Amino acid sequence: GPAAAEPLGLGRPALPEEIAAWDMTVLPDGTGLPEGSGDVWTGDEVFAEACAMCHGDFAEGLDNWPVLAGGAGSLQDRRPVKTIGSYWPYLSTVWDYVHRSMPFGMAQTLSADDVYAISAFLLYSNGIVEDDFVLSKENFAGIVMPNAEGFYPDDRPGIEYPKFRTEPCMADCAESAEITKRAVKLNVTPEDPDGRPAGTLPDLHLTAAGTEPP
């Protein structure tokens, strides 16, 4: 198979500085964390400066920007509130994602200590630690997120595929074909000037050849 392919000698060795610059990934067990630490109150200050304009002073989210705190116990609600505290399984993901991809539009501008402090503040905002908590590389792996056990690998092959891999009904099926929902009742689709859904094909009877297109 392709796995046994002989190397062609293409590429060149990656230097340690290059690997350090790009491989910033933090694994669930904390592997990959740099040295550093940060406390809740420092995190509050950094958050106020770099994050609160979108995510709110208390990580509660402004306008439609993501809510980072709250929603505990809502995962079976009609409209669940999935936040770091209510939903995310690992603190490593918070650290890794904030460090690499936030603030939105100014990513990779936070120091390791900034990210430890923001992570401590987000833990506090979600009621997971006290306000005097200091997060560091050393105690990181000891933090267990509330929804750490909330996920399981894809089980469609066991649960769904046997149910759906059956010969389907072709004639006189017992389906009910009463219309129960209509998208037009919501009327939230972008529209063309004539009120039809945006991008509706032109009616060729109305478009004489050589005239202006719609």
Partner 1 sequence: MSAAGRSAAARRPAAASGAALAAGTARAAGPDPLITEVQPWASEFGDPVDAAPYGMPIRFEDHVVRRNVEWLTESPVSSINFTPIHALEGTITPAGCAFERHHSGAIELSKSDYRLMITGLVDRPLVFTYEDLTRFPRQSRVAFLECAANGGMEWGGAQLEGCQFTQGMIHNMEYVGVPLSALLAEAGVKPEGKWIYFEGADASSNGRSIPLEKAMDDVLIAFYANGEALRKEHGYPVRAVVPGWEGNLWVKWLRRISVYDQAVEGREETSKYTDLMPDGRARKWTWVMDAKSVITSPSPQAPIYHGRGPLVITGLAWSGNGRISRVDVSLDGGKNWQEAEIEGTPQPKALTRFRLPIQWDGSEMILQSRAMDETGYVQPTKDALREIRGLNNVYHNNGIQTWWVRASGEVENVEVG
Query: Which positions from 121 through 150 interact with partner 1, judged by CB under 8 A?
Result: 150
In angstroms, what is the minimal distance from the CB of 68 to partner 1? 10
Identified binder of partner 1 from the candidate list 36, 100, 137, 141, rule CB under 8 A: 100
Judged by CB under 8 A, the stretch of 21-29, 35-43, 127-135, 136-144 that binds partner 1 is: 21-29
Judged by CB under 8 A, the stretch of 39-47, 100-108, 121-129, 134-142 that binds partner 1 is: 100-108
Judged by CB under 8 A, the stretch of 4-12, 42-50, 114-122, 123-131 that binds partner 1 is: 4-12
Whole-angstrom distance between the N-terminal and C-terminal Cα of the chain? 54
**167 contacts: CB under 8 Å, gap ≥ 6:** none
- Could you say whether residue 12 binds partner 1 (CB under 8 A)? yes
Identified binder of partner 1 from the candidate list 34, 81, 93, 141, rule CB under 8 A: 93
Residues in the chain: 214
Residue count, binding to partner 1 (CB under 8 A): 104
The C-alpha angle 15, 24, 21, rounded to 5 degrees, equals 35
For residues 74 and 87, the answer to whether their CB atoms sit within 8 Å is no
Euclidean distance between CA atoms 117 and 41, whole angstroms: 8
- Could you say whether residue 17 binds partner 1 (CB under 8 A)? no
Identified binder of partner 1 from the candidate list 10, 130, 142, 158, rule CB under 8 A: 10
Euclidean distance between CA atoms 128 and 41, whole angstroms: 15
- Could you say whether residue 158 binds partner 1 (CB under 8 A)? no
Which is nearer to partner 1, 107 or 144 (by Cβ)? 107
Euclidean distance between CA atoms 163 and 145, whole angstroms: 34
Identified binder of partner 1 from the candidate list 17, 130, 142, 156, rule CB under 8 A: 156
Kindly tell me the burial class for residue 38, based on how many C-beta atoms sit within 10 Å of its own C-beta (0-12, 13-18, 19 or more): buried
For residues 141 and 27, the answer to whether their CB atoms sit within 8 Å is no
In angstroms, what is the minimal distance from the CB of 192 to partner 1? 8
